[in-house]
Structure 1
Amino acid sequence: MAANQPSRACLINFTKCPKDSSHIRVFQIFRAMTSITAPKRYRLRRLGEILTMHQIDAVDLFCGAGGLTAGLLKTGISVRAGYDIDRNCEYAYRENNGAEFIAESVELTKIEDLSAWYRPQRIKLLAGCAPCQPFSTYNQGRDTSTDRKWPLLYSFEKLIKGVNPELVTMENVPDVTKHKVYHDFVKSLAEAKYHIWEGTVHCIDYGLPQQRKRHVLLASRLGPIAMIPKTHSEPVSVAHAIGHLPKLAAGETDLNDPLHRAATLSPVNLQRIMLSKPGGTWKDWPESLRADCHRKPSGKTYASVYGRMRGDKPAPTMTTLCYGFGNGRFGHYDNEQNRAISLREAATLQAFPEDYQFMPPEEINFKAVGRMIGNAVPVRLGEIIGLSIQRHLDELDQEKIHC
């Protein structure tokens, strides 16, 4: 028998194979792909963990409904737990990602408890996408200095110092860089000898069908790190992303998907959307249908409110109120569907899988789910962050080989 050929005993009993045996790896991949006892999302999660060369354990602070976690899982990173103070996110996080949900503010998190999630001999990743409200352009002109969310980035900094992970990532609105708390955070990472990459990422460059710009930071104690290059030269359109979903009228719910539901419209808003062109504005309406605020000089600057999306373009940024026709350009692009986008369509535009569940079907409400979707890190961005980390580790491995 050839030296590199497995014995019959090895083929039959994988427990007798060496721990790093490629035959065990093949068996694990086959078992992960063919198991009928686990839901599809868990099979894919397990397959991702097996395929990756790098054994990475992650904890997701400010995890919300799990957008970042879901993206990291797609790249083979094992997310052990998510922390968030909002208990409404627990169902979505646990149900879809198979990780533990800790309903706790990071201000109260103990370093020893956080460290316990990481297994020996694993690379540690600590992710923290703190709430963006204090840094958002929506708060320009407002005094946010007393916002209780300000200290959260300092709490994240404290936990990094205590856990000392090899890898750190954070995501926020671009305006976070205008604030001292952010620069203090970056300075603390540099003083701890982390290599840092930071920049504004336009998500359409990576295949998200949505105009969403986010500031991303990657940090590594192992060596220089950076985001992977753009993956898409042309943006993904709204029609490409959601055009296959069943048609709905305002107030309807798809019988096969309770999250594919559209908010009701008042008679006047139904008239308004019927006269709205994809990509148009409320200026397309007759004077009799225009809202009082639009008749004021200040109201004329908000052209996208009560607007329809364009099917051939990416969607606008999804907000926590993206299910409402009067809350932005959230009208469906299809002139035969006179309604705002459904919760499922909004989640899809955030790159959540179409079987992602946010609440038990009987408990779904627009406000709670809309908040989870709008506040989430887009799953695609989480995936790009994970791929950037994996490439970083690949490059380090190559350097070791050449040395």
Structure 2
Amino acid sequence: MTSTNPTINAVDLFCGVGGLTHGLVRSGINVTAGIDLDPSCRYPYEANNDAKFIERDVNELTSDEIIAHLGGGGFSLLAGCAPCQPFSSYSQSGRSKKSGKDWQLVSSFGDLVAEVQPDLVTMENVAQLASHSVFKRFLKSLKGYHVHSSVVECTKIGVPQSRKRLVLLASKLGDFGLDRIDRMASPARTVRDEIGDLPKIRAGEQHSSDPLHTACSLSEMNMRRIRASKPGGTWRDWDPELLAACHRKATGATYPSVYGRMAWDVPAPTMTTQCFGYGNGRFGHPVQDRAISLREAAMIQTFPRSYKFLEEGETVRFSRLGRLIGNAVPVRLGEVIGETLQQHVEAVTRSGVSPSGLSGRLF
């Protein structure tokens, strides 16, 4: 193959609402299918991406099912972000007591790589996974691949939030340029850059032209608290009568950002599944007396402002949408991963390397 613009066909495991898929597509990769167990992901995934959503448990997938979506010529890519709940900041207690089932999805991903043998593999995950034995076992499934992994600080690639993620890139084609992801840089983006021009809304209000631009209502006490909060400040700025019970405990002193406002001109904190709640972290709007809206959270995750999460007439459910947005791979991170793989493939094909031709294994 001698084209300088080779085709990469991809399947996205654990695709969620399409953060990684959308980023890969932006880089020029042809994502043909996304696979996830959660039916709530189907509409946003298919409404925003020219790819098929397959509602399946990855543990039950066969290699032939994946290969069927990687055919059509070109290079093959198996991508994904296996959920790792034991490392969630909301499930730290008792983590050492977790059973092996917590890691089954990472192991299943590795098993599928070993069976499918795609030309390329990428995995994005929590940074802590790099030091866990399950990651070492995953690396064993990559026998015959050139592998590069590193922790990417998302603020350095243009994501307006502090978010560190483990990114693994593997290729059968060689190792040229896989470490380029460590040197990629984009101008830093801030909260103001990302959401500063969105229409003003009040706590509990939904904007008329964008149902996702809606903010949780606040109790009278929380309204008093957010009015007393400074951008980038802490609850220590409040008068004593505003303190919550958790703040008065010794352990509460270690969580200064809870009930905090974001600051305009720095990146946001990490978006979590609870990012719509004022009391769940530094998720207060910099100047408006409310928590950030679901649209603002999605944009801080670098989803386009036009990304569709709700079907026509669908009711906003904060817990469901917060989970889908907070668990997503930032679109910009997916784009950087895709750009790295594209340049890697273009370089190796100039030297005459050809795709493995997975489609030929089916027919």
Is the TM-score greater than 0.5?
yes
SS at match of 1:264: coil
* Matching residue of 2:274: 321
SS at match of 1:79: strand
Structure 2: unaligned runs, 5 residues or longer: 354-363
* Matching residue of 2:159: 208
Segment drifting more, 313-322 vs 155-164: 155-164
SS at match of 2:188: coil
Contact 1:253-1:259 within 8 A present in 2 as well: yes
Residue identity in the other structure for 2:185:
T
* Matching residue of 1:303: 256
TM-score by length of 2: 0.92
Residue identity in the other structure for 1:164:
Q
Taking a change above 3 Å as real, the CA distance of residues 98 and 400 of structure 1, as seen in their structure-2 partners, is closer
Structure 1 residue 400, shift from structure 2 partner: 4.4
Contact 1:124-1:167 within 8 A present in 2 as well: yes
Mapping of residues 176-195 of structure 1, within 5 Å: 176-189=129-142, 192-195=143-146
Correspondent of 1:231 among 185, 204, 208: 185
Contact 1:359-1:369 within 8 A present in 2 as well: no
Q: Distance in 1 between matches of 2:38 and 2:67?
A: 22
Rg comparison, structure with higher value: 1
Q: Check if 1:267 corresponds to 2:267.
A: no
Residue identity in the other structure for 2:23:
G
Q: Distance in 2 between matches of 1:400 and 1:98?
A: 30
Residue identity in the other structure for 1:198:
S
- Identity percentage over the alignment? 51
Mapping of residues 23-42 of structure 1, within 5 Å: none
Taking a change above 3 Å as real, the CA distance of residues 182 and 345 of structure 1, as seen in their structure-2 partners, is same
Contact 1:136-1:176 within 8 A present in 2 as well: no
Correspondent of 1:167 among 78, 103, 120: 120
Q: Distance in 1 between matches of 2:309 and 2:224?
A: 31
CA-based RMSD of the aligned residues comes to: 1.7
Mapping of residues 324-343 of structure 1, within 5 Å: 324-334=277-287, 337-343=288-294
Q: Distance in 2 between matches of 1:394 and 1:285?
A: 56
Mapping of residues 4-403 of structure 1, within 5 Å: 53-143=5-95, 144-146=97-99, 148-189=101-142, 192-224=143-175, 225-228=178-181, 229-232=183-186, 234-334=187-287, 337-360=288-311, 361-400=313-352
Structure 1 residue 133, shift from structure 2 partner: 1.2
Structure 1: unaligned runs, 5 residues or longer: 1-19, 21-50
Q: Distance in 1 between matches of 2:308 and 2:101?
A: 30
Structure 1 residue 394, shift from structure 2 partner: 2.1
Contact 2:4-2:349 within 8 A present in 1 as well: no
Q: Map Cα deviations across residues 167-207 of structure 1 (whole Å, 9 max, x no partner).
A: 00001111101211110111221xx2100010000001000
Structure 1 residue 137, shift from structure 2 partner: 4.8
Runs of 4+ in 1 over 4 A off after TM superposition: none
Higher relative contact order (CA 8 A, sep 6+): 2
Taking a change above 3 Å as real, the CA distance of residues 185 and 352 of structure 1, as seen in their structure-2 partners, is same
Taking a change above 3 Å as real, the CA distance of residues 142 and 102 of structure 1, as seen in their structure-2 partners, is same
Q: Distance in 2 between matches of 1:120 and 1:382?
A: 23
Residue identity in the other structure for 1:297:
A
> Number of paired residues?
347
Q: Map Cα deviations across residues 116-145 of structure 1 (whole Å, 9 max, x no partner).
A: 111242210001200021234544341353
Q: Distance in 2 between matches of 1:52 and 1:117?
A: 23
Contact 2:147-2:170 within 8 A present in 1 as well: yes
Q: Map Cα deviations across residues 17-49 of structure 1 (whole Å, 9 max, x no partner).
A: xxx9xxxxxxxxxxxxxxxxxxxxxxxxxxxxx
Q: Distance in 2 between matches of 1:153 and 1:90?
A: 22
* Matching residue of 2:360: none
